[in-house]
Amino acid sequence: MLTYGIHFSRLTNHELVFAQIIPLAKKNNYEKKIKHFLKTEDVKSKVIPVYLKSPNSRFRNLLNPKILLTDFRSIFNTLKQLNPDVVICMYVLDAYPLAILKSIFGYSLFVVATGGDINLRQGLVHKLVRNFIYKRCDLIFAVSNELTHKIKKESGCNSIIVPNPIDSLFFMPRIYEGNVREKWGLDQKDFVILTVCNLVKYKGVQIIINAINALKNAVKHKVKLVVVGEGIEKKTLENLVVRLGLKQNTIFLGFRNREELLELYNIADLFILASYSEGLPATLLEAMACENVCISTDVGDVGRVITEGFNGFLVDSGNPMMLTKKIEEIFSLPEKKISSIRKQARKTVTKNYDFRNSTKIMMEMITLTFSRKTVDRMVN
């Protein structure tokens, strides 16, 4: 959200405010992240976090009447303080208080629909909430073609495709002084496979671990798997690693900030995303922007980004054997071919999936929609 805001601020003279919805229990952690972000980026806009008593911003966790009232009051008071003309919400389900309060404050409401918003929340309540939000939005941005179809099918509402962007001037090939691998517990001779994702079942990290297990005695390289991320499946995945005897081949690094991610993308030999479901995963685009050789399951809009053997590789979801064979195939490729794939991966991202392009499109559409709405009000 902050990265979106930075690029929005470069396209307009209007005042921008970042108002992150943050669980009160995670206040200290988020304050550190925000402080770090503001220190490392040229941010002129205000940052006003909205702290919730709810464990998180999902609808089901706000059903407690006392918490619901308290959290709505926090959001109401923030809106009253800011009195915005336009509100842009980066997740559909987070926008339901904004959709309710829109009629009171009269702002224009825009939302960004991501894969997690729609693919992972399939219950009746979530569908009803999404429909309520869609009907009250001035415009819906979807990060993938697949999501536009799902929104249309679910609600009858149209949305505009604006691909999930990344900052390709930050995520890029870097050469580091000294032995950066040693810092992360890796040897120079290791063949490093990286995955970056939330550790939940649908991300398919267990498939990668099973593929590594099949590889460990089949290739001459010493394979190391680096897993970045947190989630409810972490303990299960750690137990799987122990059970398969892969403790020496696997490193769990937990959450890492984007400076650390940049290092990891650049020292990895291969990036893998094994998800069962996606919209358009930002981590895949970040890895490609760093000229990583990438393997991803052909889900969501990934097949629109990766052309097999040209700028990356595609596999079926839930198929560790296919993933193993694909990794072995990459081992056998000549260096000239690998170099070409790396270059084409970055070229794909900088041309089609950079923040500067996406935010420019969004800002133009938001300005046009808001202007039309203002004119309509004046006429009426």
Q: Could you please report the per-residue DSSP string of 70-113? A: HHHHHHHHHHHHH--SEEEESSTGGGHHHHHHHHHH--EEEEEE
Whether the per-residue pLDDT at 57 is higher than 60: the answer is no
Q: Could you please report the per-residue DSSP string of 108-169? A: EEEEEE-HHHHHS--SHHHHHHHHHHHHH-SEEEESSHHHHHHHHHHHS---EE----B-TT
Residue linked to tokens 């992360």: 184
**Residue 105 dihedral angles phi and psi, to the nearest 5°:** -95, -20
Same fold, 2-165+355-379 and 180-352: yes
All residues at 6 or more sequence positions from 45 whose CB lies less than 8 Å from its CB, including other chains? 5, 9, 15, 16, 17, 18
Assign domain 2-165+355-379 to its CATH superfamily: Glycogen Phosphorylase B; (3.40.50.2000)
**Residue 309 dihedral angles phi and psi, to the nearest 5°:** 75, -5
Question: What average pLDDT is seen over the chain?
Answer: 86
- Condensed to tens digits (0 to 9), the pLDDT of residues 279-335 reads 788 999 999 999 999 999 999 889 999 999 999 999 999 999 999 999 999 999 999
Residue 123 pLDDT grade (very low, low, confident, very high; cuts 50, 70, 90): confident
Dihedral sign for Cα atoms in the order 137, 167, 23, 70: negative
Q: What is the mean pLDDT of residues 328-354?
A: 95
Q: Please give the DSSP secondary-structure letter assigned to residue 53.
A: S
Give me 98's structure tokens. Answer: 């904004």
Helix (H/G/I), strand (E/B), else coil: 253: strand
Whether the per-residue pLDDT at 58 is higher than 60: the answer is no
Give me 81's structure tokens. Answer: 């303080």
What was the pLDDT predicted at 38? 66
Residue that wins the pLDDT comparison between 7 and 187:
187
- Condensed to tens digits (0 to 9), the pLDDT of residues 25-45 reads 777 777 777 776 666 566 666
Provide the b/e sequence for 258-280 (b: ≥16 CB within 10 Å).
beebbbbbbbbbbbbbbbebbbb
Residue 108 pLDDT grade (very low, low, confident, very high; cuts 50, 70, 90): very high
What is the reported pTM? 0.77
Percent of the chain with pLDDT strictly greater than 70: 89
Q: Are 328 and 214 in contact (CB under 8 A)?
A: no
What was the pLDDT predicted at 37? 66
Residue that wins the pLDDT comparison between 161 and 64:
161
Q: What gap in Å lies between CA 314 and CA 321, rounded to an integer?
A: 13
Q: What is the mean pLDDT of residues 221-237?
A: 92
Q: What is the mean pLDDT of residues 202-218?
A: 90
Whether the per-residue pLDDT at 168 is higher than 70: the answer is yes
What was the pLDDT predicted at 340? 97
Return the CATH class of domain 180-352.
alpha beta
Whether the per-residue pLDDT at 152 is higher than 70: the answer is yes
Percent of the chain with pLDDT strictly greater than 90: 50
Q: What gap in Å lies between CA 184 and CA 347, rounded to an integer?
A: 28
Report domain extents, the chain: 2-165+355-379, 180-352
What was the pLDDT predicted at 61? 54
Residue 364: name the closest of 28, 110, 23, 25 by CA: 110
Residue 26 has, within 13 A of its CA and on its CB side, a CA count of 14
